[in-house]
Amino acid sequence: MSCQPASRRTVLRGAALAGAAGLGVAACSPGESARGPVTPTAPVHLGSADEVPVGEAKLYRNDRLLVAQPVKGEFKAYSAVCTHKGCVLRKIEDGEAKCACHGSMFDPATGEVLDGPAGEPLLSVPVRLEGGKLVAGPSA
């Protein structure tokens, strides 16, 4: 079997594909998913604090946030974007926040990984009460 050098076209095509692949990696840098920032860049008004039961959590899929109230009056918020491939978590069931894409599970009270393939916890998001309403993200 003889080995022939690659044609100029083959080399250029390979270089173009490698460059495009690099752009794809750069588009999803840490702190971002395919749909944009993983954590809010502006305040997000989530509604009444009463919507998050004590000892439980609520998933705000449209806002890509998860809010827990481990003890009365103490709220913790996390990005609802899975740290494995950037999918938004699907639901909270049996005390676990579940990702629909690859099956990762997280503790909604701490954001810690309960089962992979995700290897990193959910990103913490500041959350506060303003007049009985939950507001997540940076202060205005």
- Each residue of 75-112: pLDDT tens digit? 999 999 999 988 999 999 999 999 989 989 999 999 99
Question: Which three-class secondary structure string do you get for 68-133?
Answer: EEEECCEEEEEECECCCCCCEEEEEECCEEEECCCCCEECCCCCCEEECCCCCCCCEECEEEECCE
Upper half-sphere CA count for residue 52 (Cβ side, 13 Å): 30
Q: Select from 66, 69, 58 the least CA-distant residue to 39.
A: 66
Q: Select from 85, 102, 99, 89 the least CA-distant residue to 34.
A: 85
pLDDT of 100 reads: 87
Instruction: Say if pTM beats, i.e. exceeds, 0.85.
Output: no
Residue 66 to residue 91: CA distance in whole angstroms: 10
Q: What percent of the chain has pLDDT over 90?
A: 65
